Structure 1
Amino acid sequence: MKKTEEVMKPITPAKRVENVKYAIRDIVAIANKAKASGKEMIYLNIGDPNIFGFRTPQHMLDAVTDAMNRNMNGYSPSSGIEEAVEAIRKQAARSGIQNIRDIFVSTGASEAIELCLTALLNPGDNVLLPYPGYPLYTSVVGKLSAEINPYYLNEENDWNLDVADIESRINERTKGIVIINPNNPTGAIYPPETLKQLIELAQKYNLVIFSDEIYDKLCFHGQSYTSLASLTQDTPVVTFNGLSKSYLVPGFRIGWAIFSGPEELMHDYIEGVNKMVRARLCANHPMQYAIKPALEMDQSHIQYVLGELEKRNRITDEMLNDIPEISCVPAKAAFYAFPTLNIPDRDLDYVSDLIRETGVVTVHGSGFGQKEGTQHMRVVFLPEEDRLIKAYDKIRDFTRKRYHSS
């Protein structure tokens, strides 16, 4: 009997990936087409300081090279090498964090975020996420079949947290609150008074606070910064941080999570996270040897970076606010601005056409979350001053032509 030939069907992806979006990288597809057409490109979309001339401190490179030469190239302990974990613990203590229950080193802060949310959220649960905020959070929550529960930052108040808005969105399925402080994409820093109000909310509604503090050392003009976990010993807090931004090694993919709060409240949850930490084996082993020298040795590069960023932030503020259709709250930290576009078009259409016509690559604000009826774009002001000025001149000319040509 002759066997009937069967035709294979296309492989269908799982439904969990339907809502996975990452605007920062997704916009690159449009940029690549513009580049292929011969456009001179100016990239203001990726927060990677190394591609704009900022260099990794040499003592960190030396530590990694030494580790590799000592053949530290196998697996590390799942939670991280001892010297790295201890250096993170000391750094947390210097920031005022007490009641530390556990620490693990991760493949970038992104992995720590995903592991900690995965260990908390069941399908149908929700976690409060800042809008605007880093799009990884919405992608992870969507992948877990949990619900995205956005709260909106207050642009009229320097993008500060609106605690009343946050409380109004808490329901019986809410498990946690995420803050990004300093904030990506707005560059805001949250004052201690606001953080204390957030802690009170968490205690009132039995929530975990996830505090993403990856930009903690990049605060402009000596502005004060407070780690949320330093303000409470009685609240479950998970603090995320890492080397990528302040220590200029995004490609090392080294981050961590710090668990603090009462033992009786944290124990089971931490063990749930650690099951996943053990299952994924470990973070990059030799790169972990950069953690101790980064946190405990020469920090002078940070002052240099801040000096450069402060100049570029000033240029961003002055030039973007000089365009009638754009208004921009000056960043207080990090290297992002999130200007409002006072335009009749969708922000995605605006930034897409901006790329095609000028080669200047920004990211649409809707990719970070924003209030309905508003339009924004995120700008990364890492490029050298002359490149920034050229980019903003192009944005001004494009906007003028688009909205003022007869």
Structure 2
Amino acid sequence: MSKEFKIIPAERTFGVEYAIRDIVEASQEAKKAGKDLICLNIGDPVKYGFKTPEHIIKAACEALLNNLNSYSESTGISEAIEAIKGYALKKGIQPVDIYITQGASEAIEFAISALANPGDNILLPSPCYPLYQAIVAKFQIEPRFYYLDEEKDWEIDIDSIEPLIDDKTKAIVIINPNNPTGAVYSKKTLEKILEIAEEYHLVVLSDEIYDQFILEEGLEHVSIAALTDKVPVLTFNGLSKNYFAPGFRIGWGIVSGPEEMLKDYIDAIHKLARTRLCASHPLQFAIPAALNQENVYIKQVIPQLKKRRDLLVDGINSIPCLSCVKPKGAFYAFPKFEIPGIEDLDFVKRLILEEGVVVVHGSGFGQKPNTKHFRIIFLPEEAVILKALERIERFVKKFL
């Protein structure tokens, strides 16, 4: 075989990017140069000292010790499905089908790949969690971006949706609470989304992985699936965030809406589930352990996160050329910067290399054109956040 010969990868991989991990190269370069890194790029609570509750770990360990290590049913064990059904009913969702996956990411990929063909399009929020752009690129589906309005606490700009829709539009994605902005959508906004979905026969894909991370007193998370029995909705969730178990890779999709309309689509999702056999059998036993009792741990965590959020947002808003809308949910903020002559990716790379503060560029989230942002997390302890703010301010002042 000729030494000049190269294996050419499939075209479907060319557009696949994942901004959150794609900045690792700059981080490694900074580390080699001796920089003390403050990593504020990946939303993994366990990395910042939060712990998976003991009873959830115990349930998985007991399953392992009891030799529940065979393949399970492709869509999940009955005990876990019943627990998810109970959780859904408490949220006002009437499940037609439930399937358990290797993280919510797999549930989302199954839902999209079972629905849309190459050349079809799906409506995504701008900004958006990069997983969605990666999935649609892989399956050669066109992403069309509707806007979130920064001037209105990142609420969905309803007027930006309908002009995107044509006969190839299959679904609209909402992320609520939103990653990267921390927005929590109002019932009124969700009802408008359902009106559009019903009129144009769209499936609603609702990512609710942060639904228990609500940071405002008196604010309630509303599941869009609870507001309709006419529109097909897939609701995604899992153990990673609410139950501090990202490494378990256990998630699920809840299908709701008109059963007859959904039958073939559900069958297609189940086919995809069978091709990878199953999610981890013993770890599925963590689902009933988590969902069948009150989540006490997150109630202890929320007050800490509110303090850290306020510290971060107030600090950013005190730095020249930066501004930040206060997030109402999740644990991310999406500050805007207005510095002439530097784009967001260069800003982030230089911030990493010069100050050791690792954040993610806003263009990796599909931010609105002609705007410049970065995503930053507020999971670390307050002393770490303060140190990061000092470095960010010192960096920004270099441009003034």
Separation (CA, whole Å) in 2 of partners of 1:148 and 1:254? 26
Cα distance, 1:154 vs. partner? 0.6
Q: Percent identity?
A: 52
> Which string of whole-angstrom CA distances, capped at 9 and with x for unpartnered residues, describes residues 131-164 of structure 1?
1011010111011111111111111110001111
* The one of 360, 363, 366 aligned to 1:363: 360
Separation (CA, whole Å) in 2 of partners of 1:318 and 1:288? 40
Separation (CA, whole Å) in 2 of partners of 1:228 and 1:283? 26
What is residue 97 of structure 1 aligned with on the other side? 93
1:7-406 equivalences under 5 Å are 7=3, 9-98=5-94, 100-222=95-217, 223-344=219-340, 345-401=342-398, 403-404=399-400
Other structure's SS at 2:205 match: strand
Separation (CA, whole Å) in 2 of partners of 1:32 and 1:8? 30
Other structure's SS at 1:184 match: coil
Cα distance, 1:353 vs. partner? 0.2
Separation (CA, whole Å) in 2 of partners of 1:146 and 1:240? 20
> Which string of whole-angstrom CA distances, capped at 9 and with x for unpartnered residues, describes residues 8-43 of structure 1?
611000010011000000001110110111110100
Other structure's SS at 1:130 match: strand
Separation (CA, whole Å) in 2 of partners of 1:75 and 1:8? 44
Other structure's SS at 1:153 match: strand
Cα distance, 1:7 vs. partner? 4.9
Report the RMSD for the aligned CA atoms in angstroms: 0.9
TM-score, with normalisation over the residues of structure 1? 0.97
Other structure's SS at 1:273 match: helix
Separation (CA, whole Å) in 2 of partners of 1:108 and 1:267? 24
Separation (CA, whole Å) in 2 of partners of 1:20 and 1:7? 28
Cα distance, 1:297 vs. partner? 2.2
Cα distance, 1:6 vs. partner? 5.0
Aligned residues: 398
Separation (CA, whole Å) in 2 of partners of 1:327 and 1:80? 44
Separation (CA, whole Å) in 2 of partners of 1:298 and 1:69? 26
Other structure's SS at 1:96 match: coil
Separation (CA, whole Å) in 1 of partners of 2:295 and 2:241? 13
> In the alignment, residue 282 of structure 1 is paired with which amino acid?
C
5+ long unaligned stretches in structure 1: none
Separation (CA, whole Å) in 2 of partners of 1:8 and 1:389? 52
Cα distance, 1:339 vs. partner? 0.6
Other structure's SS at 2:375 match: strand
Other structure's SS at 1:220 match: coil
TM-score, with normalisation over the residues of structure 2? 0.98
Cα distance, 1:358 vs. partner? 0.6
Separation (CA, whole Å) in 1 of partners of 2:116 and 2:216? 39
- Shift in CA distance, 326/273, structure 1 to aligned 2, threshold 3 Å: same
Separation (CA, whole Å) in 1 of partners of 2:24 and 2:382? 23
Other structure's SS at 1:9 match: coil
Higher mean C-alpha deviation, range 140-149 or range 7-16: 7-16
Separation (CA, whole Å) in 2 of partners of 1:46 and 1:369? 17
Other structure's SS at 1:395 match: helix
Separation (CA, whole Å) in 2 of partners of 1:279 and 1:113? 16
Separation (CA, whole Å) in 2 of partners of 1:148 and 1:21? 14
- Give structure 1 regions of 4+ aligned residues with deviation exceeding 2 angstroms: 5-8
